[in-house]
Amino acid sequence: DTGVSQDPRHKITKRGQNVTFRCDPISEHNRLYWYRQTLGQGPEFLTYFQNEAQLEKSRLLSDRFSAERPKGSFSTLEIQRTEQGDSAMYLCASSSRTQNPGHEGYTFGSGTRLTVV
Amino acid sequence: QQQVKQSPQSLIVQKGGISIINCAYENTAFDYFPWYQQFPGKGPALLIAIRPDVSEKKEGRFTISFNKSAKQFSLHIMDSQPGDSATYFCAPPPMDSNYQLIWGAGTKLIIKP
């Protein structure tokens, strides 16, 4: 296991198009998180899954955003009708149930950089 | 609203010098104080963390110190190296959440050779 994997690493899309990102967490981790990070800022929480259940969604996650984790393993984040303001790095992280996510079990992927033109 | 205030926003240090980054918090409902390190094009990675029952923790060249009365915790990088050039975030998890981290604004550290 090489850690949290995200695909693609980079995505350029035209405004109004739909995009989907994938995250493969560390295999034994049952918690999965999506964050968004813009240049020069800290990550902003988007949503959180425990197994396949989406337990929390940020108000930042508008109706155009949807996340799934159908089998409790990988997750997808879809953005519909993309806007220029959606341009950001989308980070995925995972942790294990027995550890507080703020502690050692929180592992980030390298992110997907989205550019909306 | 729980907040953390991180300073400075950017820092340039000569190779071999000491880098110091500070984080102040406004809410006492934290029981774990981590620093994350992020290189360009990568996600953040936990660097070092401290619990409030100790005032200092050292791991190699990295030291984290905690001042409970001042509600501050700091990262010190001794003998700073060019490879330490990165953005550093404090990101404590609030005690009333089992998934959130409260992120500081970040400090961009540049170590000049």
Banded model confidence at residue A108, pLDDT cuts 50, 70, 90 = very high
Q: What is the pLDDT of residues B52-85, one digit of tens each?
A: 889 999 999 999 999 989 999 999 999 999 999 9
Higher-confidence residue: A104 or B13? B13
The per-residue pLDDT of chain B, averaged, comes to 91
CB A4 within 8 A of CB A105: no
Q: Are B111 and B14 in contact, with CB atoms under 8 Å apart?
A: yes
Q: Are strands A53-57 and A31-37 parallel, antiparallel or unpaired?
A: unpaired
Q: What is the pLDDT of residue A1?
A: 52
Q: Tell me the three state secondary structure of residue B45.
A: strand
Chain B touched by A17 (CB under 8 Å): no
- A31 and B CB contact within 8 Å: yes
Q: Please report residues of B whose CB lies closer than 8 A to that of A108.
A: 43-45
The model's pLDDT over A19-42, given as tens digits with 9 standing for 90+, comes to 999 999 998 888 999 999 998 888
A22: amino acid identity, one letter: R
Q: Say if the Cβ atoms of A110 and B43 lie within 8 Å.
A: yes
Each residue's pLDDT tens digit, B4-59: 999 999 999 999 999 999 999 986 678 889 999 999 989 999 899 998 889 999 99
Q: How far is A73 from chain B (nearest CA, A)?
A: 18
pLDDT of residue B89: 95
Cβ pair A41:B44 closer than 8 A? no
For residue B107, the distance in angstroms to the closest alpha carbon of chain A comes to 9
**First-to-last CA distance in chain A?**
35
Tell me the pLDDT tens digit for each residue of A37-95.
998 888 999 999 999 999 989 987 889 999 999 988 999 999 999 999 999 999 999 98
State yes or no: pLDDT of A115 exceeds 90.
yes
pLDDT for B1 equals 58
Residue A29 C-alpha, separation from nearest chain B C-alpha, in angstroms: 13
Q: Quick one: how many helices (H) and strands (E) in chain A? A: 0, 11
A58 touches chain B (CB under 8 A): no
Per the DSSP assignment, residues forming a β-bridge with B36 are: B46, B89
Query: Which pLDDT score, from 0 to 100, does residue A36 have?
Result: 95
Inter-chain contacts counted by CB atoms under 8 A, chains A and B: 61
Q: B86-90 and B107-112 as β-strands: parallel, antiparallel, unpaired?
A: antiparallel
Cα(B99)–Cα(A42) distance, integer angstroms: 16
Taking CA atoms, what residue in B is nearest to A41?
Answer: B105
| Maximal C-alpha separation, chain A | 42
